[in-house]
Amino acid sequence: MRASLIITALIAAACNTPQTSNLQAPSQLTCEYLSNPGVVDVVPRLAWVNTTTSLQRNEKQTAYQIRVATSEQQLEEPDLWNSEKVSSEESNRVVYKGKELTSGQDCYWQVRSWDSNDKPGPWSKPGRWRMGLLKKSDWKAKWIGAPWQNESALPKPDGGPDGVPKEFGPPAPMLRKTFDVSKKIKRAVAFVTGLGYFEFYVNGSKVGDDVLVPNQTNYGKRPGIETALISLPDNFRKYKVMYLAYDITDQLVQGKNAIGAILGNGFYNPAKFWTEGYGSPRFLGQIQVSYEDGSEDIITSDTSWTVRRSPIVRDMVYYGEIYDAREEQKDWSSPGYNDVQWEKAIERTAPYGELVAHTAHTDKVMEQLKPVSIERLGEGHYKVDFGKEISGWVKLLNVQGPAGHAIDIAFNGNLYSGDNRYICSGNGPATYAPRFNWFVFSGVEIKNWPGELKTPDLVAEAVNTYIEPSAKFETSNTLFNQINTIWQRSQLDNMHGGIASDCPHRERSGYTGDAQVACPTVMQNFESRNFYHKWVQDMLEAQNVETGYVPNGAPWQPGCGGGVAWGAAICIIPWEFYMAYGSRDMLEDNYDGMKGYVRYMETWVDKEGIMLMKRKNLQGEEVQWYNLGEWVAPGPTVGSDMVHTFYYWYCADITARTARALGREQEAEQYTALADKTKRAFHARFYQKAAGGYGDGGGNIFALKMGVPKEQYEEVVASLRKSIAAKGGHLDTGIFGTRFFFEVLAENGMNDLAFEALNKKTVPSFGHWIELGSTTSREQWDEGGSHNHPMFGGGLVWFYRNLAGMKSDEAQPGYKHIIVKPQPVTAVSHTSYTLQTPYGEAGVDWKLNDAAFEMNVTVPVGSHATVYVPTQQGQKASLASSEQGDQMNGEVAEDGYTKFEIGSGQYVFHTK
C-alpha cells in the first residue's frame, strides 16, 4: 500500500511540473536598431530574436513580456515599465509604453517570450539605452570656437572641379578646460558634438573609438545654394546637427580633471566646387556629473575654455591632411598641462539645425591590412601594395626622423581628395594616422621615408560607417563569388557619415539615385536597418515641403546631378526597407514624402500621361529638369522621357502599395489608378510595333518590369532575346536598367540569359572589371569614370532572389513569410545563401548533380515558408523529416516546381 502511494505521489508531482519552454532566452536585443545605444531622444522601439532550445520545428513566439528599469538591479521590480504578458507574435519595433522618460535617464531592459505551447522561456540578458537632452532648455552649453577663425566658411575656389583654394585656413583648433571633482561620482555623461568633425578627450585620452563624427546632415541654412551650379531654394523640411553621448564615469577622478576637443573642417567647411559650406569649425559640450550624495554638476563649453592651434596643419576632406609633429603639445588634454599661453575660446553662432541624438552608427576603423609588398623605387622612395582598394588611411607605426623632415604619402585610388604629409618632430618613434579625412587606395607611394621602410612600419586601416555583414553568399561559380565580393568592398568604401556616396574619392556626396538602385543588394548583404533609418530621414528632410521635390543628394550638396529617378529614392528605399525588415513605421514616417514626390512628378506630365524633361513654369517660361537619364549605358540607350515615365509609374505603384500596407484603402485605389494610367500611357507611347518591343538599352526591361499587355508579351520577350543575342549575350543597360535586368530575365523565362550575361568577362560585364584587376565595382562598363562605384550592384539581387531563390513576401514582409524558389542553371552545381532576418537566420543551400536536386532550407523561429523545389519531367520532390525519418510529398505546381508549406526549423528536400 505504501509503495502504491509513493508511486501515485511521484506521478502527480510529474504531472504538476511545468513543461520547459522550447524557446531560449531572447538574444540580439536592439533599441532603435542599435545594441545598447548611447543616446536616444525618441520614444524607444525595441526588438529581439527568438531561438529554440533544440531543432524544434514549427516554433514561434505567442506572447512576450518586457520590463524596463532605471538600473539593472531594479529589473526584478521594474520602476519604468512592466508590460506584463502581451499576447503577440511581434518582436520587431515594439514601442516602449512605460513611464515618461526624462533627459539623461539610463534605462535597462529585458524580455522573455512564450512558445507555441504557451510556456514562458527565460529572461534575456539585460540591454540598455540612455535618453538624450530632450528639451532645448536642457542645453546649458554654448557653441565655441577659435578666435583666429571667422564665422563663415572658406570660399569655394575658382576653376571648377579642379580648382584649389588659395588658402586652406588655419590649423585645426584644440580646446580644453579643467575642473575639480570633490565628491564620489555615481555617473558622468558627456553630451558632445563638433562641426564639421571632432574628437573628444578626457584626462589625456580620446574618448571612444568613433572617427569622422558626427554623421553628415543638413546642418543649417546656406545662402550660396540658391545660386550654385544646381540651385535650390533653402527651404528643406528639416535641418539638424547630431550630438553623441559618452559615459566617462571611469575616466574622471576625484581632484583635478581636464577635458578637451580637436575640431576638423569636414563637410561643414569643405571649400570645394560641388559643395557649399556652412561655417568655420565649432564645438558644443555638456558634461553632467552625478554624485553619490544626490547632487550634480554641469560642466559646459563656454568662453572659459582655452584654445590653441593643433599639429594638424591642414584637414580638408577634398585636399588632404598635413600633420606637423613639431607642434605637438604633450599631455595637452591632461589636468597637469599648463595652458597659460593659450587663447580664450570665443562663442560661436549656433547652427540653424536642431540638435538631435546621434542614435546612429558612426564611422570606425573596420579592418587593418598589412602590406602585400613593398618596392623600393629610390632613396626614401617606396611603393606599397595592400592588395585591395579601401577607403581609410595609412597608419605609421614606427616613424622617426629629423625635426622638420616631411614624409609624403600619395594614394593610387584618390581623386580630388588630396594626399597626406607627416612632418617629423625629431623625437623618438611615433604613431600617426589622419583624423579628419579619408583616402582611397590599394597602394601608396611614399617619398622621403627616413631609413628603410619595412612591413612593421605601417598598416592600412579601412574606415567606414559601422555596418556588419548579415549574409553569406557562395556558389560553385568562382566569378559570381568574386563579383559579390568586389561589390561589397565598393559599398563599404562609400559608407561614411551615415550616408553612401557615389564614389569615395570624388564628389563624396549622398546621391539618392545610386542609393535607390543599390539598396536592395545592401539589405541582402549587410545589417543596414540603422544605416537606412538615418539616411532616409536625411532624404525626407531634404524635401521641399511646398513642392514635394526631393533633390538628387541627401544631405544636399549643390553638385549632385541626377533627375527623376534620384528623388524616387524617397519611395523606393522605404518600400525595400519594409520588405527586408518588416518595419511598418518606415512606411508611416515617409508616406507623406512619397505622396509629395508623386505630386511634384505630376507637374511634369503631359496630357497623354508621359513625364517630360521640360515644362513651363507659372511665369510661362520653359524650364528643364536637369537629368542624367539612363546613366552610363554601354551604348545607345532609351530616352529620358521613357526613364521618367517608368519612375513615375514605379513611384505611384509603390505609394499605392504603401497606402494599402497602412490600411488607407481609398488612397491605395487612387494611386493604383494613377499607376495603371501611367502604365497605359507608357505602352501607348513607347511600344514600337514594327520591332515588336520597346527598344534596346533598357526599353524592353522597363516595359516587362511594369508588365506589358498580354497580346504583346510574346513579341516583347522575343525582341529582348534578339537584342541580347545581337550583343553577344551582354547586357546593354545603364544604372537603372541594370537594376532590373537580371531579375526581369529570370522572371520571364530567360534565366539562362541572365546567367550568361553575369558570367561574361568581356565588355560590358562585371567580370571584365575583375579581368582588369579591380577589387571594387565601377561607374562605367569600360575603363572610364570612377573605379569605385557601388551603383551597378543593384542588379546583383539575382544572386539571392533568383539563383539562390529566397525572397520576402509583401503580404508578410521582413521574412515573416519566406518564399524559397531557386532558379538553378546547369553550369552552377551549388549555391548557398544565408541571411540574418529580423526573426533570425534564414537560409537556402542547394546542390545539383546529374539532374538530381537537393536543398537544405532554414526557417527562423516565428517565420514560415513556402518552398518550391524545381523538378523535371518524371521526377518527384520530397521533404525528408529529420525528426521521424519519413518522407513528405509536396503539391505539384504548374511551372515545374513542387510546392511545400513549412514552419520554422531545418529541412532537407530532394528530387529523384
- Digit-coded pLDDT (tens) for 177-236: 999 999 999 999 999 999 999 999 999 999 999 999 999 999 999 988 998 888 899 999
Cα 826 → chain centroid: 35
Q: Which residue has the higher pLDDT, 292 or 159?
A: 292
Cα dihedral 159, 161, 162, 164, rounded to 10, equals 70
Helix (H) or strand (E) holding 854: strand 852-859
Exposed/middle/buried for residue 707 (C-beta within 10 Å: 0-12, 13-18, 19+): exposed
Using the 8-state DSSP alphabet, how is residue 125 labeled? Answer: P
Q: What is the pLDDT of residues 597-610, one digit of tens each?
A: 999 999 999 999 99
Per-position DSSP letters for 558-581, written without gaps between them: TT----HHHHTHHHHHHHHHHHHH
Three cell numbers written together for 314: 591642414
**So what's the pLDDT on residue 269?**
97
C-alpha to C-alpha distance for 787 and 503, rounded to whole angstroms: 8
Cell of 292: 553619490
CA proximity to 215, closest of 452, 691, 535? 535
Round to whole Å and give the CA distance between 734 and 480. Answer: 20
Q: Which run of H or of E encompasses 163?
A: none
Quote the CA–CA distance of 546 and 529 in Å, as a whole number.
29
Quick check: 384 and 441 in contact, CB under 8 A? no
Quick one: pLDDT at residue 615? 72
Task: Judge whether residue 714 has pLDDT over 50.
Answer: yes
For the residues 543-565, what does the mean pLDDT come to? 95
Residue type, position 902, single letter: I
Q: What is the pLDDT of residues 242-296, one digit of tens each?
A: 999 999 999 999 999 999 999 999 999 999 999 999 999 999 999 999 999 999 9
pLDDT over threshold 60, residue 10: no
Using pLDDT thresholds of 50, 70 and 90, give the confidence band for residue 612.
confident
Cα dist. 673→597, 599, 666, 687 in Å?
Answer: 17, 14, 11, 21
What is residue 131's DSSP assignment?
Answer: B
HEC string of 508-521? CCCEHHHHHHHHHH
To the nearest whole number, what is the mean pLDDT of the chain? 94
**Long-range contact pairs involving 474-478 (C-beta distance under 8 Å, separation at least 24):** 474/830, 474/831, 474/832, 474/833, 475/799, 475/803, 475/828, 475/830, 475/831, 475/832, 476/828, 476/829, 476/830, 476/831, 477/759, 477/827, 477/828
Give the pLDDT band of residue 2 (cuts 50, 70, 90).
very low
| Pairing of the two strands 354-357 and 240-247 | parallel
> Pick from 556, 560, 534: which is nearest to 213 by CA?
534
Average pLDDT over residues 764-783: 97
The residues, any chain, with a CB within 8 Å of residue 783's CB and separated by 6 or more, are: 772
User: What CA–CA distance (Å, rounded) separates 663 from 673?
Assistant: 17
CATH of domain 366-465: 2.60.120.260
Cell (9 digits) for 304: 572659459
Domain ranges of the chain: 27-130, 139-360, 366-465, 468-804, 817-911
pLDDT tens, position by position, 407-436: 999 999 988 889 999 999 999 899 999 999
* Percentage of the chain lying above the pLDDT 70 cut: 96
Q: How far apart are CA 510 and CA 500, in angstroms?
A: 6
* 8 A C-beta contact, residue 519 and residue 536: no
In this predicted structure, the answer to whether residue 17 has a pLDDT above a threshold of 70 is no
601 C-beta neighbours (distance < 10 Å), count: 25
Residue 649 above 60 pLDDT?
yes
* Res 506: pLDDT: 94
- Residues 884-906 have pLDDT tens digits of 444 566 777 668 899 999 999 99
630-647: per-residue pLDDT in tens?
999 999 999 999 999 999
Residues forming beta bridges with residue 496, ordered by sequence position: 499
The cell numbers describing 761, all together, are 568577362
Q: What are 820-832's pLDDT values in tens digits?
A: 999 999 999 999 9
| Closest to 595 measured CA to CA, from 525, 536, 671 | 671
Domain 27-130 homologous superfamily, CATH: Immunoglobulins (2.60.40.10)
Q: Which CATH number fits domain 468-804: 3.40.50.920, 1.50.10.10, 3.40.1440.10, 1.10.260.40?
A: 1.50.10.10
Region of residue 18 (left: phi > 0; alpha: psi -120 to 50; beta: else):
beta
pLDDT band at 16 (very low <50, low <70, confident <90, very high): very low
pLDDT of residue 6: 37
CB-based contacts of 691-694 (< 8 A; 24+ apart in sequence): 691/719, 692/716, 692/718, 692/719, 693/718, 693/719, 693/720, 693/723, 694/638, 694/642, 694/719
Q: Minimum mean pLDDT among 49-58, 274-283, 345-354: which range? A: 49-58
Class of domain 139-360: mainly beta
Classify burial at 31, counting beta carbons within 10 Å of its beta carbon; exposed 0-12, middle 13-18, buried 19 or more: buried
Average pLDDT for 158-175: 92
Fold agreement (139-360, 366-465): yes
Residues 6 or more apart whose Cβ sits within 8 Å of residue 707: 679
| CATH of region 817-911, choose from 2.60.420.10, 3.30.1180.20, 2.40.50.140, 3.30.565.10 | 2.60.420.10
Please report, as a single letter, which amino acid is at residue 653: D
* Residue 350: DSSP 8-state: P
Q: Between the CA of residue 345 and those of 152, 175, 885, what are the distances in Å?
A: 17, 8, 76
Residue indicated by cell numbers 540658391: 226
What is 285-346 written as a DSSP string?
EEEEEEETTS-EEEEE-STTSEEEE-SEEEEETTTEEEEEGGG--TTTTSTT---TTSEEPE
Check whether 8 has a pLDDT greater than 70: no
Mean pLDDT on 28-42:
98
Instruction: Give 40's strand partners.
Output: 131
CA dihedral (583, 588, 592, 594) in degrees, to 10, reads: 20
443 beta partners: 385
- Tell me what pLDDT residue 621 has: 75
Residue-level pLDDT at 616: 67
The answer to whether the CB of 224 falls within 8 A of the CB of 530 is no
**Does the bond joining 639 to the residue before it have cis omega, within 30 degrees of 0?**
no
